[in-house]
Chain A
Amino acid sequence: MDAPEVDIRALRRLDAEAVDTVFDAYADRLARFLRRLGAGPEVAEELVQESFVRLIRHAPRLTDDTRVGAWLYTVARNLWRSHRRWAWVDGTRLLELASRPVSAPAGPAELVEAGRTAAHVQAAVAALPEAQREVFLLVAVEGLTPQDAAEVLGLSAEAARQRLARARRAIEEALP
């Protein structure tokens, strides 16, 4: 991930420009992460908003070494897990994604092949056990380091690396 420069001191003061910078850097990323965990668009938006509101309320207590990205992903993930406990129905979206037939778009051969591969990857990621999907999304798609992903998931770095390796292996095996 191209980690944006976040001025923690300015954010601690809730400087309007710093708040905007963080919002611009992470709003779409958090929404994408939540969607890929299985949240519908409206739920994802709601949880993105709540993640930022929590960051703002916590901002005066941020320490100089806080990695804002990892902090936000942690909160977003926890909110999603909490939401899912009582709104289990959203989880069915993953099953739907996993079982969706792999179809290729019309177009030149390369596009057809690329579309087919993308569909296979989407299905393979959706079919991963949640623990593996989370770490894979954080590292491969969101660009966090395995260490930051471990922090987000509350794991040791080694456990995160093992889950990541298993996820990559499962995806590779699922690709034609």
Chain B
Amino acid sequence: MTPKDPDETHAETAADALDTLAARALATPPLPTETRARLRAVVREEARRVRVGLAEASLHAGFAVGALVWAAVAAFG
């Protein structure tokens, strides 16, 4: 591995220091508890809704495949 140029290393250290300073200076309090709970409930409900939709879709797909197999058996069996 090629050793790093000292200037480059210095620049990286300075950038890291600036980033740390900025991260501290720009820190904000977390979302209020009630807001967080409300958002979480919305997200959970959406996940539940999509899960149900997926389950229904796969059920319908299962019926369709079943019907196809049944028709094939009826036609050729």
Q: Which residues of A contact B (CB under 8 A)?
A: 13-14, 16, 19-20, 23, 27-28, 31-32, 35-36, 45, 48-49, 52-53, 56-57, 59-60, 117-119, 121-122, 125, 136-137, 139-141, 143, 168, 171-172
Question: How long is the Cα–Cα vector from A118 to B26 in the complex, in angstroms?
Answer: 8
Q: Is the CB of A56 within 8 A of B46?
A: yes
Select which of B21, B35, B39 is within 8 A of A52 by beta carbon.
B39
Q: Is the CB of A49 within 8 A of B42?
A: yes
Select which of A45, A125, A136 is within 8 A of B31 by beta carbon.
A45
Could you write out 11 A-B pairs with CB less than 8 Å apart?
A14-B54, A16-B44, A23-B43, A27-B31, A27-B36, A28-B31, A56-B50, A59-B47, A60-B54, A168-B19, A171-B22
Other A-B contacts than A56-B46, A60-B54, A141-B19, 5 sampled, CB-CB below 8 A, are: A32-B27, A45-B39, A48-B31, A59-B50, A140-B19
Q: Which residues of B contact A (CB under 8 A)?
A: 14-15, 18-19, 21-28, 30-31, 35-36, 39-40, 42-44, 46-47, 50-51, 54
Query: What is the minimal beta-carbon distance from B33 to any residue of chain A, in angstroms?
Result: 12
| A36 CB contacts on chain B under 8 angstroms | 26, 28
Q: Is the CB of B26 within 8 A of A19?
A: no
Grouping DSSP codes into helix (H, G, I), strand (E, B) and loop, the A interface class, with mixed when no group exceeds half, is helix
B24, closest chain A residue (CB): A118
Q: Is the CB of A53 within 8 A of B43?
A: yes
| B47 CB contacts on chain A under 8 angstroms | 14, 16, 19, 56, 59
Q: Is the CB of B22 within 8 A of A56?
A: no
Query: What is the minimal beta-carbon distance from B17 to any residue of chain A, in angstroms?
Result: 10
Q: Is the CB of B26 within 8 A of A137?
A: yes
Select which of B18, B19, B35 is within 8 A of A45 by beta carbon.
B35
